[in-house]
Structure 1
Amino acid sequence: MSESYLYIHLETVTNMILSYGISMNDFVDAFKQVPEHLLLLSDVDENEMIDPHTGFNVISGREDILRYLLNPKISRKKWIDYKHTLYLDEITPFEVSELLYLGHAYTHLSSPFYYKLANQYVYLELPNEMTKVYYRHLEDFHRVLSNTITRYFEAHNFQANFLFKRHVIHYVNLDNQTLNAIHELLVDGVLFDFTAAFRQDDQLIVPLFQLKHRFVPNDIAWSMTSAEKLGTLEYNREVQQWAVKLQA
Protein backbone atom coordinates (compact mmCIF):
# COMPACT_ATOMS: atom_id res chain seq x y z
CA MET A 1 0.00 0.00 0.00
CA SER A 2 3.02 2.26 -0.35
CA GLU A 3 1.91 5.81 -1.23
CA SER A 4 -1.67 4.59 -1.70
CA TYR A 5 -3.09 5.42 1.71
CA LEU A 6 -2.12 7.85 4.44
CA TYR A 7 -3.89 7.55 7.79
CA ILE A 8 -3.47 9.96 10.70
CA HIS A 9 -5.23 10.16 14.06
CA LEU A 10 -4.55 12.84 16.69
CA GLU A 11 -5.07 12.35 20.42
CA THR A 12 -5.12 15.89 21.78
CA VAL A 13 -4.48 15.33 25.50
CA THR A 14 -0.88 14.14 24.99
CA ASN A 15 -0.29 15.37 21.41
CA MET A 16 -0.06 11.79 20.21
CA ILE A 17 -0.12 11.04 16.49
CA LEU A 18 -1.04 7.51 15.39
CA SER A 19 -0.24 7.12 11.72
CA TYR A 20 0.27 4.87 8.74
CA GLY A 21 2.35 6.15 5.84
CA ILE A 22 4.54 8.75 7.55
CA SER A 23 8.15 7.74 6.92
CA MET A 24 11.18 8.29 9.09
CA ASN A 25 12.56 10.55 6.36
CA ASP A 26 9.43 12.70 6.59
CA PHE A 27 10.02 12.94 10.33
CA VAL A 28 13.76 13.62 10.20
CA ASP A 29 13.49 16.17 7.40
CA ALA A 30 11.16 18.20 9.64
CA PHE A 31 13.71 18.59 12.43
CA LYS A 32 14.61 22.15 13.26
CA GLN A 33 17.41 20.62 15.29
CA VAL A 34 18.46 16.98 15.48
CA PRO A 35 18.23 15.65 19.07
CA GLU A 36 21.53 15.39 20.90
CA HIS A 37 20.70 12.20 22.81
CA LEU A 38 18.35 9.25 22.44
CA LEU A 39 17.35 6.69 25.02
CA LEU A 40 16.21 3.54 23.23
CA LEU A 41 13.05 1.84 24.48
CA SER A 42 13.65 -1.30 22.43
CA ASP A 43 15.28 -4.49 23.76
CA VAL A 44 18.71 -3.82 25.18
CA ASP A 45 21.65 -4.64 22.93
CA GLU A 46 24.63 -5.61 25.08
CA ASN A 47 27.01 -4.69 22.25
CA GLU A 48 25.89 -1.06 22.20
CA MET A 49 26.31 1.76 24.71
CA ILE A 50 24.21 1.26 27.85
CA ASP A 51 23.42 3.91 30.41
CA PRO A 52 24.43 2.34 33.76
CA HIS A 53 21.73 4.11 35.77
CA THR A 54 18.65 3.33 33.69
CA GLY A 55 19.87 0.19 31.91
CA PHE A 56 18.71 1.42 28.49
CA ASN A 57 20.79 1.72 25.35
CA VAL A 58 21.65 5.32 24.55
CA ILE A 59 22.92 7.12 21.47
CA SER A 60 24.66 10.49 21.62
CA GLY A 61 25.89 12.79 18.88
CA ARG A 62 23.74 14.02 16.02
CA GLU A 63 25.59 12.10 13.32
CA ASP A 64 25.17 8.80 15.16
CA ILE A 65 21.53 9.61 15.87
CA LEU A 66 20.78 10.31 12.21
CA ARG A 67 22.61 7.12 11.25
CA TYR A 68 20.37 5.17 13.64
CA LEU A 69 17.13 6.87 12.64
CA LEU A 70 17.70 6.51 8.89
CA ASN A 71 19.06 2.95 8.97
CA PRO A 72 16.43 0.83 7.14
CA LYS A 73 17.93 -2.38 8.56
CA ILE A 74 16.88 -1.44 12.10
CA SER A 75 13.24 -2.39 12.52
CA ARG A 76 10.81 -1.43 15.28
CA LYS A 77 12.55 1.76 16.37
CA LYS A 78 11.43 2.94 19.81
CA TRP A 79 13.06 5.89 21.54
CA ILE A 80 12.74 9.01 23.61
CA ASP A 81 15.10 11.96 23.27
CA TYR A 82 16.68 13.73 26.21
CA LYS A 83 18.55 16.96 26.69
CA HIS A 84 21.39 16.34 29.16
CA THR A 85 23.26 13.13 29.96
CA LEU A 86 23.74 14.10 33.60
CA TYR A 87 19.97 14.20 34.14
CA LEU A 88 19.69 10.48 33.45
CA ASP A 89 21.21 9.88 36.88
CA GLU A 90 18.18 11.60 38.42
CA ILE A 91 15.64 9.26 36.84
CA THR A 92 13.82 7.37 39.61
CA PRO A 93 13.10 3.60 39.59
CA PHE A 94 9.42 4.41 39.09
CA GLU A 95 10.23 6.54 36.05
CA VAL A 96 12.37 3.71 34.67
CA SER A 97 9.37 1.40 35.07
CA GLU A 98 7.22 3.94 33.20
CA LEU A 99 9.73 4.02 30.35
CA LEU A 100 9.83 0.21 30.26
CA TYR A 101 6.06 0.14 30.05
CA LEU A 102 6.11 2.78 27.30
CA GLY A 103 8.44 0.64 25.20
CA HIS A 104 6.60 -2.61 25.94
CA ALA A 105 2.95 -1.56 25.80
CA TYR A 106 3.37 1.31 23.30
CA THR A 107 1.43 3.68 25.50
CA HIS A 108 2.07 6.02 28.43
CA LEU A 109 1.21 5.53 32.09
CA SER A 110 1.42 9.21 32.99
CA SER A 111 2.71 12.07 30.88
CA PRO A 112 5.04 11.00 28.06
CA PHE A 113 7.00 14.22 28.57
CA TYR A 114 9.52 14.15 31.39
CA TYR A 115 10.84 17.24 33.15
CA LYS A 116 14.24 15.65 33.79
CA LEU A 117 14.66 14.45 30.22
CA ALA A 118 13.18 17.59 28.63
CA ASN A 119 12.18 15.33 25.74
CA GLN A 120 10.50 16.70 22.66
CA TYR A 121 9.34 13.35 21.30
CA VAL A 122 8.50 9.76 22.05
CA TYR A 123 8.76 7.66 18.88
CA LEU A 124 7.27 4.15 18.73
CA GLU A 125 7.09 1.92 15.67
CA LEU A 126 4.22 -0.51 16.30
CA PRO A 127 4.09 -4.20 15.33
CA ASN A 128 1.23 -3.54 12.84
CA GLU A 129 3.26 -1.20 10.57
CA MET A 130 1.80 1.89 12.19
CA THR A 131 3.71 4.52 14.14
CA LYS A 132 2.86 6.37 17.32
CA VAL A 133 4.68 9.63 18.05
CA TYR A 134 4.17 12.00 20.97
CA TYR A 135 5.07 15.61 20.14
CA ARG A 136 5.71 18.17 22.86
CA HIS A 137 4.95 20.86 20.26
CA LEU A 138 2.40 20.09 17.55
CA GLU A 139 3.96 22.60 15.16
CA ASP A 140 6.76 20.03 14.84
CA PHE A 141 4.17 17.55 13.60
CA HIS A 142 2.78 20.08 11.12
CA ARG A 143 6.16 20.18 9.38
CA VAL A 144 6.17 16.38 9.26
CA LEU A 145 2.64 16.41 7.85
CA SER A 146 3.63 18.85 5.11
CA ASN A 147 6.63 16.69 4.19
CA THR A 148 4.48 13.58 4.05
CA ILE A 149 1.66 14.98 1.97
CA THR A 150 3.95 16.59 -0.60
CA ARG A 151 5.88 13.29 -0.86
CA TYR A 152 2.65 11.40 -1.50
CA PHE A 153 1.59 13.84 -4.18
CA GLU A 154 5.02 13.60 -5.81
CA ALA A 155 5.03 9.79 -5.64
CA HIS A 156 1.54 9.49 -7.05
CA ASN A 157 2.43 12.23 -9.52
CA PHE A 158 -1.02 12.26 -11.13
CA GLN A 159 0.72 11.31 -14.35
CA ALA A 160 -0.12 7.72 -15.28
CA ASN A 161 -3.78 8.57 -15.83
CA PHE A 162 -3.39 12.10 -17.10
CA LEU A 163 -0.93 11.72 -19.95
CA PHE A 164 1.67 14.26 -18.93
CA LYS A 165 4.37 11.84 -17.82
CA ARG A 166 7.25 14.10 -18.72
CA HIS A 167 5.83 17.08 -16.87
CA VAL A 168 7.39 17.50 -13.43
CA ILE A 169 5.19 19.08 -10.78
CA HIS A 170 6.90 20.97 -7.97
CA TYR A 171 4.81 21.14 -4.82
CA VAL A 172 5.11 23.95 -2.32
CA ASN A 173 4.90 23.25 1.40
CA LEU A 174 1.44 23.26 2.92
CA ASP A 175 0.45 26.68 4.25
CA ASN A 176 -0.73 27.22 7.83
CA GLN A 177 -4.37 27.63 6.83
CA THR A 178 -4.40 24.25 5.10
CA LEU A 179 -2.48 22.57 7.92
CA ASN A 180 -4.92 23.95 10.48
CA ALA A 181 -7.88 22.76 8.42
CA ILE A 182 -6.43 19.24 8.28
CA HIS A 183 -5.54 19.41 11.97
CA GLU A 184 -9.20 19.97 12.88
CA LEU A 185 -10.14 16.72 11.13
CA LEU A 186 -7.43 14.55 12.66
CA VAL A 187 -9.10 14.23 16.07
CA ASP A 188 -11.50 11.69 14.55
CA GLY A 189 -8.85 10.16 12.28
CA VAL A 190 -8.46 10.86 8.56
CA LEU A 191 -7.67 8.53 5.69
CA PHE A 192 -6.13 10.16 2.61
CA ASP A 193 -7.11 7.83 -0.23
CA PHE A 194 -4.58 8.27 -3.03
CA THR A 195 -6.02 5.32 -4.95
CA ALA A 196 -9.01 7.57 -5.68
CA ALA A 197 -6.97 10.69 -6.49
CA PHE A 198 -7.78 12.48 -9.71
CA ARG A 199 -7.12 15.59 -11.74
CA GLN A 200 -9.74 18.20 -12.61
CA ASP A 201 -8.37 20.97 -14.80
CA ASP A 202 -5.45 22.39 -12.78
CA GLN A 203 -6.66 20.83 -9.53
CA LEU A 204 -5.06 17.64 -8.18
CA ILE A 205 -7.57 16.15 -5.78
CA VAL A 206 -7.35 13.49 -3.04
CA PRO A 207 -10.48 12.32 -1.15
CA LEU A 208 -10.47 12.42 2.65
CA PHE A 209 -12.40 9.85 4.68
CA GLN A 210 -13.31 9.27 8.30
CA LEU A 211 -13.43 5.58 9.20
CA LYS A 212 -16.12 4.09 11.39
CA HIS A 213 -13.80 1.27 12.44
CA ARG A 214 -10.20 1.01 13.53
CA PHE A 215 -7.76 1.44 10.66
CA VAL A 216 -6.21 -1.90 9.64
CA PRO A 217 -3.15 -1.46 7.40
CA ASN A 218 -3.37 -4.89 5.77
CA ASP A 219 -7.14 -4.90 5.33
CA ILE A 220 -8.02 -1.52 3.89
CA ALA A 221 -11.06 -2.90 2.01
CA TRP A 222 -12.66 -3.83 5.35
CA SER A 223 -11.68 -0.49 6.86
CA MET A 224 -13.40 1.39 4.02
CA THR A 225 -16.74 -0.48 4.20
CA SER A 226 -18.36 2.20 6.36
CA ALA A 227 -16.10 5.16 5.66
CA GLU A 228 -17.63 8.60 5.53
CA LYS A 229 -16.26 11.04 2.99
CA LEU A 230 -15.20 14.25 4.71
CA GLY A 231 -14.09 16.20 1.68
CA THR A 232 -10.96 16.61 -0.40
CA LEU A 233 -7.42 17.90 -0.21
CA GLU A 234 -6.64 19.82 -3.39
CA TYR A 235 -3.57 21.30 -4.99
CA ASN A 236 -3.81 23.89 -7.74
CA ARG A 237 -0.68 23.32 -9.78
CA GLU A 238 -1.17 26.52 -11.76
CA VAL A 239 -1.09 28.91 -8.77
CA GLN A 240 0.64 26.43 -6.39
CA GLN A 241 -1.96 26.60 -3.66
CA TRP A 242 -3.40 23.97 -1.30
CA ALA A 243 -6.98 23.81 -0.07
CA VAL A 244 -9.20 21.58 2.05
CA LYS A 245 -12.80 21.43 0.82
CA LEU A 246 -15.31 19.78 3.15
CA GLN A 247 -18.54 18.05 2.22
CA ALA A 248 -21.57 20.29 2.42
Structure 2
Amino acid sequence: MPEQMIYIHYDTVGNNVLSKGITNQNSKNLLKRTPNNLLLIKGGESVGTYDNHTGFPIIKGQEEVKKFLDTGIGNPSQLGAWIDFSSIDMLHQLTSVEISEILYIAHAHNYLYSPFYYKLQNNYIYLSLPNDFTKVYYRYLEEFLEQFSDSITQRMQKKVNEKKRFFQKEQIIRSFPIEKAAQFVPAFREGVCFSFRQMKMENQTYQVPLFLTEDKLSSINQLFDEKESLGMLIYDANQDKWDLKYEIE
Protein backbone atom coordinates (compact mmCIF):
# COMPACT_ATOMS: atom_id res chain seq x y z
CA MET A 1 0.00 0.00 0.00
CA PRO A 2 1.36 3.44 -0.90
CA GLU A 3 0.78 4.81 2.60
CA GLN A 4 3.16 2.17 4.00
CA MET A 5 6.20 3.13 1.97
CA ILE A 6 7.89 5.82 -0.07
CA TYR A 7 9.84 4.91 -3.20
CA ILE A 8 12.18 7.40 -4.92
CA HIS A 9 14.48 7.18 -7.91
CA TYR A 10 16.21 10.35 -9.07
CA ASP A 11 17.49 10.43 -12.66
CA THR A 12 20.27 13.02 -12.77
CA VAL A 13 20.48 12.99 -16.57
CA GLY A 14 16.87 13.97 -17.16
CA ASN A 15 16.46 15.73 -13.80
CA ASN A 16 13.33 13.74 -13.04
CA VAL A 17 12.06 11.89 -10.00
CA LEU A 18 10.11 8.65 -10.26
CA SER A 19 8.25 8.17 -7.00
CA LYS A 20 5.42 6.45 -5.21
CA GLY A 21 3.94 7.37 -1.86
CA ILE A 22 4.79 11.09 -1.93
CA THR A 23 1.51 12.65 -0.85
CA ASN A 24 0.92 16.14 0.49
CA GLN A 25 -2.16 17.29 2.32
CA ASN A 26 -1.37 20.96 1.78
CA SER A 27 -1.65 22.46 -1.72
CA LYS A 28 1.07 25.00 -0.88
CA ASN A 29 3.51 22.11 -0.51
CA LEU A 30 2.54 20.43 -3.78
CA LEU A 31 4.45 22.98 -5.88
CA LYS A 32 6.42 25.90 -4.49
CA ARG A 33 6.34 27.82 -7.78
CA THR A 34 2.69 27.95 -8.79
CA PRO A 35 2.62 27.82 -12.61
CA ASN A 36 0.99 30.61 -14.58
CA ASN A 37 -0.71 28.12 -16.91
CA LEU A 38 -0.86 24.38 -17.59
CA LEU A 39 -0.92 22.42 -20.84
CA LEU A 40 -2.79 19.15 -20.20
CA ILE A 41 -1.13 16.49 -22.34
CA LYS A 42 -2.60 13.17 -21.24
CA GLY A 43 -5.65 13.26 -23.48
CA GLY A 44 -9.29 12.84 -22.59
CA GLU A 45 -9.24 15.52 -19.88
CA SER A 46 -12.63 16.99 -19.04
CA VAL A 47 -11.14 20.16 -17.56
CA GLY A 48 -9.51 23.19 -19.11
CA THR A 49 -10.12 25.08 -22.34
CA TYR A 50 -9.29 23.53 -25.70
CA ASP A 51 -6.36 25.23 -27.45
CA ASN A 52 -6.60 25.08 -31.26
CA HIS A 53 -2.90 25.62 -31.87
CA THR A 54 -1.58 22.72 -29.78
CA GLY A 55 -4.65 20.48 -29.72
CA PHE A 56 -4.40 20.20 -25.94
CA PRO A 57 -6.62 21.58 -23.17
CA ILE A 58 -5.07 24.41 -21.16
CA ILE A 59 -5.69 25.88 -17.72
CA LYS A 60 -5.10 29.62 -17.66
CA GLY A 61 -4.12 31.74 -14.66
CA GLN A 62 -2.67 30.87 -11.26
CA GLU A 63 -6.02 30.80 -9.49
CA GLU A 64 -7.41 28.18 -11.87
CA VAL A 65 -4.12 26.28 -11.70
CA LYS A 66 -4.36 26.17 -7.89
CA LYS A 67 -7.91 24.81 -8.10
CA PHE A 68 -6.71 22.09 -10.45
CA LEU A 69 -3.73 21.19 -8.25
CA ASP A 70 -6.04 20.96 -5.24
CA THR A 71 -7.67 17.94 -6.90
CA GLY A 72 -4.37 16.10 -6.46
CA ILE A 73 -4.02 16.65 -2.71
CA GLY A 74 -3.55 13.22 -1.16
CA ASN A 75 -3.86 11.55 -4.57
CA PRO A 76 -1.29 12.80 -7.10
CA SER A 77 -2.48 10.40 -9.82
CA GLN A 78 -5.58 12.57 -10.20
CA LEU A 79 -3.46 15.24 -11.86
CA GLY A 80 -2.93 13.32 -15.10
CA ALA A 81 -0.07 14.69 -17.19
CA TRP A 82 0.83 18.31 -17.83
CA ILE A 83 3.52 20.84 -18.65
CA ASP A 84 3.47 24.35 -17.26
CA PHE A 85 4.03 27.37 -19.49
CA SER A 86 4.52 31.08 -18.94
CA SER A 87 2.37 32.78 -21.60
CA ILE A 88 -0.24 32.02 -24.24
CA ASP A 89 1.65 34.06 -26.84
CA MET A 90 4.78 31.94 -26.47
CA LEU A 91 2.72 28.74 -26.38
CA HIS A 92 1.33 29.65 -29.79
CA GLN A 93 4.86 29.94 -31.16
CA LEU A 94 5.45 26.21 -30.70
CA THR A 95 6.21 24.52 -34.01
CA SER A 96 4.52 21.33 -35.16
CA VAL A 97 7.76 19.49 -34.40
CA GLU A 98 7.81 20.81 -30.83
CA ILE A 99 4.15 19.84 -30.36
CA SER A 100 4.97 16.35 -31.62
CA GLU A 101 7.77 16.16 -29.03
CA ILE A 102 5.19 16.93 -26.34
CA LEU A 103 2.95 14.20 -27.71
CA TYR A 104 5.91 11.84 -27.41
CA ILE A 105 6.42 12.83 -23.77
CA ALA A 106 2.76 12.09 -23.02
CA HIS A 107 2.97 8.70 -24.74
CA ALA A 108 6.46 7.46 -23.84
CA HIS A 109 6.94 9.30 -20.52
CA ASN A 110 10.33 10.44 -21.76
CA TYR A 111 11.69 13.37 -23.73
CA LEU A 112 13.51 13.46 -27.06
CA TYR A 113 15.91 16.40 -26.64
CA SER A 114 15.18 18.32 -23.45
CA PRO A 115 12.36 18.34 -20.88
CA PHE A 116 12.57 22.12 -20.61
CA TYR A 117 11.44 24.37 -23.45
CA TYR A 118 12.61 27.92 -24.06
CA LYS A 119 9.23 28.94 -25.46
CA LEU A 120 7.28 27.44 -22.58
CA GLN A 121 9.71 28.46 -19.81
CA ASN A 122 8.41 25.42 -17.96
CA ASN A 123 9.64 24.39 -14.53
CA TYR A 124 7.90 20.99 -14.55
CA ILE A 125 6.63 18.09 -16.56
CA TYR A 126 4.21 16.06 -14.47
CA LEU A 127 3.33 12.49 -15.48
CA SER A 128 0.93 10.16 -13.66
CA LEU A 129 1.94 6.55 -14.29
CA PRO A 130 0.20 3.20 -13.65
CA ASN A 131 0.06 1.77 -10.11
CA ASP A 132 0.16 5.21 -8.45
CA PHE A 133 3.67 6.10 -9.59
CA THR A 134 4.46 9.64 -10.67
CA LYS A 135 7.33 10.93 -12.75
CA VAL A 136 8.11 14.62 -12.47
CA TYR A 137 10.77 16.63 -14.27
CA TYR A 138 12.00 19.45 -12.03
CA ARG A 139 14.03 22.42 -13.18
CA TYR A 140 14.96 22.84 -9.50
CA LEU A 141 15.46 19.62 -7.51
CA GLU A 142 15.06 21.42 -4.18
CA GLU A 143 11.34 21.59 -4.93
CA PHE A 144 11.13 17.82 -4.74
CA LEU A 145 13.18 17.79 -1.54
CA GLU A 146 10.63 20.13 0.03
CA GLN A 147 7.80 17.81 -1.01
CA PHE A 148 9.70 14.81 0.34
CA SER A 149 10.31 16.59 3.63
CA ASP A 150 6.64 17.52 3.94
CA SER A 151 5.48 13.98 3.11
CA ILE A 152 7.86 12.42 5.65
CA THR A 153 6.68 14.87 8.32
CA GLN A 154 3.01 14.11 7.65
CA ARG A 155 3.54 10.36 7.78
CA MET A 156 5.53 10.48 10.99
CA GLN A 157 3.01 12.79 12.64
CA LYS A 158 0.29 10.29 11.77
CA LYS A 159 2.35 7.46 13.28
CA VAL A 160 3.13 9.43 16.45
CA ASN A 161 -0.58 10.14 16.99
CA GLU A 162 -1.86 6.70 15.99
CA LYS A 163 -2.60 5.56 19.54
CA LYS A 164 -3.67 8.83 21.10
CA ARG A 165 -6.99 8.84 22.90
CA PHE A 166 -9.87 10.84 21.45
CA PHE A 167 -9.64 13.51 24.18
CA GLN A 168 -5.91 14.02 23.75
CA LYS A 169 -4.57 16.88 21.69
CA GLU A 170 -2.75 15.88 18.52
CA GLN A 171 1.03 16.14 18.85
CA ILE A 172 2.50 18.47 16.24
CA ILE A 173 6.02 17.42 15.33
CA ARG A 174 8.97 19.37 13.97
CA SER A 175 9.23 19.36 10.17
CA PHE A 176 11.81 17.03 8.68
CA PRO A 177 14.73 19.38 7.83
CA ILE A 178 15.42 20.10 4.16
CA GLU A 179 19.17 19.85 4.78
CA LYS A 180 18.71 16.28 6.03
CA ALA A 181 16.53 15.46 3.02
CA ALA A 182 19.38 16.67 0.79
CA GLN A 183 21.71 14.13 2.41
CA PHE A 184 19.59 11.36 0.88
CA VAL A 185 20.15 12.54 -2.71
CA PRO A 186 23.01 10.01 -3.34
CA ALA A 187 20.63 7.25 -2.23
CA PHE A 188 17.80 8.64 -4.39
CA ARG A 189 20.08 8.25 -7.43
CA GLU A 190 20.20 4.51 -6.77
CA GLY A 191 16.48 3.96 -6.20
CA VAL A 192 15.39 3.46 -2.59
CA CYS A 193 12.37 2.67 -0.48
CA PHE A 194 11.48 3.93 3.00
CA SER A 195 9.43 1.11 4.55
CA PHE A 196 6.99 2.51 7.12
CA ARG A 197 5.42 -0.95 7.39
CA GLN A 198 8.69 -2.11 8.96
CA MET A 199 9.11 0.90 11.22
CA LYS A 200 10.16 0.14 14.81
CA MET A 201 9.49 2.20 17.92
CA GLU A 202 11.45 2.03 21.16
CA ASN A 203 11.32 4.57 24.01
CA GLN A 204 9.36 6.98 21.78
CA THR A 205 12.05 6.79 19.10
CA TYR A 206 10.69 5.84 15.67
CA GLN A 207 13.01 4.19 13.17
CA VAL A 208 12.06 3.84 9.48
CA PRO A 209 14.42 1.50 7.58
CA LEU A 210 15.76 2.43 4.14
CA PHE A 211 16.30 -0.22 1.45
CA LEU A 212 18.00 -0.23 -1.94
CA THR A 213 15.51 -1.22 -4.65
CA GLU A 214 17.01 0.34 -7.81
CA ASP A 215 14.49 -0.13 -10.65
CA LYS A 216 12.95 -3.33 -9.24
CA LEU A 217 9.55 -1.72 -8.77
CA SER A 218 7.70 -4.95 -7.95
CA SER A 219 9.84 -5.38 -4.83
CA ILE A 220 8.53 -2.27 -3.10
CA ASN A 221 5.21 -3.90 -2.21
CA GLN A 222 6.91 -6.68 -0.27
CA LEU A 223 8.58 -6.90 3.12
CA PHE A 224 12.32 -6.35 2.86
CA ASP A 225 15.04 -8.40 4.51
CA GLU A 226 15.96 -6.15 7.43
CA LYS A 227 19.55 -7.34 7.24
CA GLU A 228 19.79 -5.51 3.90
CA SER A 229 18.76 -2.14 5.29
CA LEU A 230 20.96 0.77 4.18
CA GLY A 231 20.13 2.69 7.32
CA MET A 232 17.39 4.45 9.22
CA LEU A 233 15.36 7.63 9.22
CA ILE A 234 14.89 8.39 12.93
CA TYR A 235 12.47 10.58 14.87
CA ASP A 236 12.83 11.03 18.65
CA ALA A 237 9.39 12.07 19.90
CA ASN A 238 10.71 12.91 23.39
CA GLN A 239 13.14 15.51 22.05
CA ASP A 240 11.17 16.34 18.88
CA LYS A 241 14.35 15.69 16.93
CA TRP A 242 15.15 14.09 13.57
CA ASP A 243 18.24 12.08 12.74
CA LEU A 244 19.36 9.71 10.02
CA LYS A 245 22.03 7.19 9.32
CA TYR A 246 22.70 5.28 6.14
CA GLU A 247 25.54 3.81 4.13
CA ILE A 248 25.67 3.84 0.34
CA GLU A 249 28.61 3.81 -2.00
**TM-score, structure 1 length as denominator?**
0.87
Offset at residue 2 of structure 1 (A): 4.0
RMSD: 2.7
Q: What is the aligned residue count?
A: 243
8 A Cα contact 1:25 1:70, kept in partner: no
Question: In 1, distance between residues paired with 2:114 and 2:245?
Answer: 35
Offset at residue 225 of structure 1 (A): 6.6
Residue 62 in 1 paired to residue 62 in 2? yes
Between 1:199-208 and 1:129-138, the stretch displaced more is 199-208
- Give the match for residue 197 of structure 2: 195
Instruction: Assess, with a 3 A threshold, how the Cα gap between structure 1 residues 46 and 203 changes in structure 2: closer, same or farther.
Output: closer
- Give the match for residue 85 of structure 2: 82
Offset at residue 94 of structure 1 (A): 1.1
Instruction: Assess, with a 3 A threshold, how the Cα gap between structure 1 residues 114 and 26 changes in structure 2: closer, same or farther.
Output: farther
Offset at residue 23 of structure 1 (A): 2.4
- Give the match for residue 137 of structure 2: 134
Identity of aligned residues (%): 33
Offset at residue 158 of structure 1 (A): 6.3
Q: Which runs of 5+ in 1 are unaligned?
A: none
8 A Cα contact 1:76 1:127, kept in partner: no
**Higher helix proportion, which one?**
2
8 A Cα contact 1:210 1:227, kept in partner: no
Question: In 2, distance between residues paired with 1:225 and 1:238?
Answer: 29
CA shift digits 1:10-45 (9 cap, x unpaired): 111122110011126467524333211000011155
8 A Cα contact 2:123 2:138, kept in partner: yes
CA shift digits 1:75-109 (9 cap, x unpaired): 46100101111101211111101100111111111
Instruction: Assess, with a 3 A threshold, how the Cα gap between structure 1 residues 182 and 86 changes in structure 2: closer, same or farther.
Output: same
Question: In 1, distance between residues paired with 2:215 and 2:116?
Answer: 29
Between 1:125-134 and 1:208-217, the stretch displaced more is 208-217
Partner letter of residue 236 of structure 2? N
Partner letter of residue 89 of structure 2? L
Question: In 1, distance between residues paired with 2:246 and 2:226?
Answer: 18
Question: In 2, distance between residues paired with 1:24 and 1:121?
Answer: 17
Partner letter of residue 199 of structure 2? A
Partner letter of residue 190 of structure 2? D
